[in-house]
Structure 1
Amino acid sequence: MKPQNVLILPGWQSSGPDHWQSLWETQYGYHRVDQHDWMTPRRGDWMAQLEETILATDGPVVLVAHSLGCILTAAWASHSKNTHRVKAALLVAPGDAEREALQGVLPSWSPVPMQLLPFPSQLVGSRDDPYCSFDRVQAMGTAWGSTFTDLGNAGHINAETGLGAWAFGHGMLRQLIEMKDN
């Protein structure tokens, strides 16, 4: 798979330069899906941007989502007629947009889509993520049909967690990329 076919889907406020998503983008040449408004995200706008990016990419894609990017993946998959273009998705630390603390800043993101994704997915969760309880991340994984990885106490699995380029996560991504088509 060509590096530009690995699409990076950051969450709310994007991923800063020390975030593993940004490091992967720089190190491996993956393509970030740029959103029009990182600070006041609107679900429909983000879904349209993802759709346009996937349609403009030559060949199948693999999605690499963090936080709100995971919710974007589920929302997009529940509406798009182009899900067949996605080979697989790595979903890391979904933010629970239904949490009271997040509803005010992410009003268009509730409810979180809870249906089976039409492509293979690996969901990575943390037991002490401040944006999503462990029970909720497990429920998302079950609803989405994802293989689940418990990362233990790893916070929001972002730059503040001190993961750097997160070799373990990149190994999971490589497995998804190398997975044989069904």
Structure 2
Amino acid sequence: MKISEVDFLIVPGLGDSEPGHWQRRWSERLPNAKVVRQADWHKPALAPWVEAIANDVMMATRPVVILAHGLGVLASVHAALGLVDTKVRGALFVAPPDVELHPEVPPAAAPFSPIPRDPLPFPSMLVASTNDPYCSIDRAAEFATCWGSDFHQAGDAGHFNIQSGHGPWPEGLLMFTRLMQRLKS
């Protein structure tokens, strides 16, 4: 699938993606990219966020690929399970937080529990770090297995944000390319 043939939905996590974050950079460089917005990035509500994702999928004029980070991954998974006859062709999920078991996850993320465990209706890749402050690598692997996602363990990469040194994130572009190649078939 060619990049020019896709509408990209970028779904930031809790607090939105700050300037310099890989999602912001990608949104500025990818043609047909749209950032899914919500009313309050610091006190997110699950239902409106899921509705915003579903609406953006419905309004897309081409097949959709979701690029989600952090809590945006869980919002996207909740939304995906409610979509029928979806235009979504794939998703790149980066650093989902374990809102069920991890003690460092901010309380504002609690409404996103329980984490869905059903297989997703489209191909996906989940990228996780061995030292993510919000999710153990074992739990990330469990989520990938449940969702039917390809799993990529990225080593000690933190939460894939500015604080962990992931502004441009060229390795992420390689994983994104791999996902797009998979979607060709």
- TM-score, structure 1 length as denominator? 0.92
Out of 168, 171, 174, the position equivalent to 2:174 is: 171
The secondary structure found in structure 2 opposite 1:73 is helix
RMSD, aligned α-carbons = 1.8
User: How many angstroms apart in 1 are the aligned matches of 2:133 and 2:152?
Assistant: 18
CA contact (8 A) 1:10 1:68 kept: yes
Q: Which residue does 1:52 correspond to in 2?
A: 55
CA contact (8 A) 1:90 1:123 kept: yes
Residue number in structure 2 paired with 1:158: 161
Q: Confirm or deny that 1:61 pairs with 2:78.
A: no
Residue 20 in structure 1 maps to residue 22 in structure 2: yes
8 Å Cα contact 1:123/1:148 also seen in 2: yes
Instruction: Tell me the CA shift for residue 103 of structure 1.
Output: 6.6
Task: Mark the runs of 5 or more structure 2 residues left unpaired by the alignment.
Answer: none
Structure 1 consecutive aligned stretches of length 4 or more whose deviation exceeds 4 Å: none
Residue matched to 1:147? 150
1:46 and 1:120 map into 2 onto residues whose CA distance is 22
Partners of 1:63 and 1:88 within 8 A in 2? yes
Distance 1:92 1:47, change over 3 A: same
Residue 40 of structure 1 is matched in structure 2 by 43
Deviations along 1:91-128, one digit per CA (max 9) or x if unpaired, are: 00001111344373223111011111110001100001
CA distance in 1, matches of 2:16, 2:183: 31
Question: 5+ residue gaps in structure 1?
Answer: none
The alignment-based identity, stated in percent, is: 36
**Normalization by structure 2: what TM-score?**
0.90
